[in-house]
Chains A and B, each alone.
Chain A
């Protein structure tokens, strides 16, 4: 566990590497282990990577992961003031607390979600999968929102390749026997996350500057106690956002940063080394780990891209997520929560004791590091099933993902589409079979109706004409004071 946490921290700290890639690579390496052992490793890497992003954010002002981008704003300023060690101590303890809170929510909320999910039929599962793709595309897009949705539907297309589950008709296989079983998720994930980053870092000559020096890293418990309200609020934000399918730690961190700034008596201090800022962002992004695990285990819907990789790992180990997961595998939720708590403690210990040693990794030149990651990606893709074909898929998908990333198409929705595509396809057709082609159950079943309304509103809210219409209506109902005589 300590080795896995350290590896996770390195993956998080190194710009160009992500938590998803770390979990993906370890999924293939832990395939031969039993479920508990492999999930100890995977969660340790996940927790470590989400926390590890703060190292690069604080010490060199380059976020190691997207989840740590918000931490860089105030973390680097603290490092410039000679308080890098204190900043790392705060992020270490805040991250540990966030992860543990996420684990507690996982074990307490799961029975409620599972009870609710037992009422779900195929319509609800289809709409949930569709909702995950749409919301992921909406929130992950940095340019036009349509790009996020296109990315999600490209993922759905990749999921559709192969023989369909109901009639075994070959779709888009072009006579290639290796495609009949569908496209393997792991090489797609590894290709989509490793290759674009590698190309970007090496092509654009990303050079990691000198890291800010820092003294000992201390737990900063007294400072943490002073920001207790920020921690509570950020943990709730992290768990809540993690529980929404397909979003992830970076959104949780930014929302938490915004909430901390808005609730602060001195918002002008944010951006200049405000400790509350880094405590909030790091608590939220690590709480997201537990939050993302709630829909993952109880609904089979990943709450974040790394959770999507965990879903792949679960399926490899024969664990079918859903409301019956605790019946089919008694105690699994409790065990996973315990793994998450232990990983958080291991992360805290490694962070406090070995930060200085881990930071030395940042000194390795990127041209030495990235090619080794490429080799690990190739070997990781091959190791699953020992199929050369996986490598033949990984490279073109990786190159496509690079071009999409350059044009600001987010990759996370594509990954969510690949993972949830089979669930969406099979449940949609099953639902229509049961209703003999009628779409009425979508509006007569309460949960389906809510999901449809949320999806429709999410899509419409991105349209200019819709926003104009509501603004006009609002002005009509609440005219401005100046317009009243």
Chain B
């Protein structure tokens, strides 16, 4: 299957989704006031808030239908059916790399950033994200990703069950300590996995240096230079505050 055929297969899927989306936009638009008073303002069709959504929805349906037609004409539908019928094999290398990127981003943004000290969030994100791609080894990627996902699942359970709040009562930064334990565990696990491979040991050292130095530079710039409070200022950032105000005064 050449690139053009893959593209048309993708077009078949995407244009179908876009047509459904366009129909959804049109349906939602018809539920907006067309001719009535709303907010004290007399609403004729041309002032209706539904006008632009109707135009947008109709245009998306129309143009997506043209793309769908072209995709079907070029064999995209046939290839899609073949893909569905084919028995599912293992995840490809590119697929695994894609999944690793998404997992890293989703965990960093949705899970860690709002709940864990921002310094540690960045540290964990960079440690994982850099190592899995810098090592360029499919087996290592899968093992390290498994550890990362497990750690993130544990953090999720910790906060979802309210356990995080309970352990933070005696000591306010307990959850940050837990995150730090996971980070140290990740590095240790990665160290064991790379074994005596000198090239990978060197890469792991560089990864750790970058993962520590980047938040060490960025966090003070934002907190003290640009005066932007960071999403979660936990243990490490509070320590940074302590050092800064001890050295610099009030």
Taking beta carbons and an 8 Å cutoff, which residues of A are in contact with B?
A: 29, 32, 143-144, 146-147, 149-150, 153-154, 156-157, 160, 164, 166-169, 171-172, 195, 198-199, 202-205, 365-368, 370-372, 374-376, 378-379, 382-383, 386, 388, 391-392, 394-395, 398-399, 403-404, 406-409, 421, 424-425, 428-429, 432-433, 436-437
Other than the known A169-B32, A371-B130, A376-B218, what 15 A-B pairs have Cβ atoms closer than 8 Å?
A32-B227, A144-B70, A160-B56, A166-B41, A167-B38, A202-B101, A203-B94, A205-B97, A371-B126, A371-B133, A378-B108, A394-B109, A395-B106, A421-B52, A436-B46
Task: Please list the 5 inter-chain residue pairs (A to B) with the smallest Cβ-Cβ separation, ordered nearest first.
Answer: A432-B46, A367-B133, A367-B134, A371-B129, A146-B63
How far is A339 from B113 in the complex, measured between Cα atoms in Å? Answer: 37
CA distance A407 to B3 in the complex (A): 11
Q: How many positions in chain B have a CB within 8 Å of any CB in the partner chain?
A: 62
* Chain A residue with the shortest CB-CB distance to B131: A367
Partner of A167 from B47, B70, B94, B214 at Cβ < 8 Å: B47
Contact B49 A164, beta carbon cutoff 8 Å: yes
The answer, yes or no, to whether B206 is at the interface (CB within 8 Å) is yes
* Closest partner residue, chain B, to A165 (CB atom): B49
Answer whether A202 and B133 are a contact pair too, CB < 8 Å, given A167-B43, A407-B14, A432-B46: yes
Q: Is B98 an interface residue (CB 8 A)?
A: yes
- What's the Cα separation between A198 and B67 when bound, in Å? 27
The CA-CA distance from A432 to B48 in the complex, in Å, is 11
A-B contact pairs, 7 of them (CB 8 A): A154-B60, A370-B133, A378-B113, A392-B109, A406-B10, A432-B51, A433-B47
Q: How far is the CA of A143 from the CA of B66 in the complex (A)?
A: 13
List B residues 105-123 near A (Cβ within 8 Å): 105-106, 108-110, 113-114, 122
Per the bound structure, the CA–CA distance linking A169 and B214 in Å amounts to 44
* B101 engages A198 (CB within 8 Å): yes
Pick from B39, B59, B105, B230: contact of A195, CB under 8 Å: B105
A388-B114, A395-B110 known; A167 and B39 CB under 8 Å?
Answer: yes
Classify the secondary structure of B's interface with A.
helix
The chain A residue with its CB closest to the CB of B13 is: A407
Q: A379 touching B105 by the CB < 8 A rule?
A: no
The main secondary structure of chain A at its interface with chain B is helix
Instruction: Out of B18, B28, B52, B109, name the residue touching A424 (CB < 8 Å).
Output: B52
B175 at the interface (CB under 8 A from A): no
CB <8 Å contact, B113 and A388: yes
A32-B226, A407-B7 in contact; A171/B109 too (CB < 8 A)?
A: no
Q: How far is the CA of A199 from the CA of B99 in the complex (A)?
A: 10
Q: Which residues of B contact A395 (CB under 8 A)?
A: 105-106, 109-110
User: Bound state CA distance, A371 and B125, in angstroms?
Assistant: 8
- Interface-centre pick from B39, B49, B97, B210 (highest chain A CB count, 10 A): B49
Binary per-residue interface labels of chain B (55-99) against chain A in the complex, 1 for a CB within 8 Å, 0 otherwise: 010011001101100100000000000000000000000100110
> Does B153 count as interface, using CB distance less than 8 angstroms?
no
In the complex, are the beta carbons of B67 and A367 less than 8 A apart?
no
Given A374-B129, A388-B114: A368 in contact with B52 (beta carbons within 8 A) = no
- The answer to whether A147 and B52 touch across the interface, beta carbons within 8 angstroms, is no
A407/B10 contact (C-beta < 8 A), A147-B67, A171-B32, A375-B125 known: yes
* A375 touching B218 in the complex, CB below 8 Å, given contacts A153-B59, A433-B47: yes
B67 and A168 contacting across the interface, CB-CB below 8 Å: no
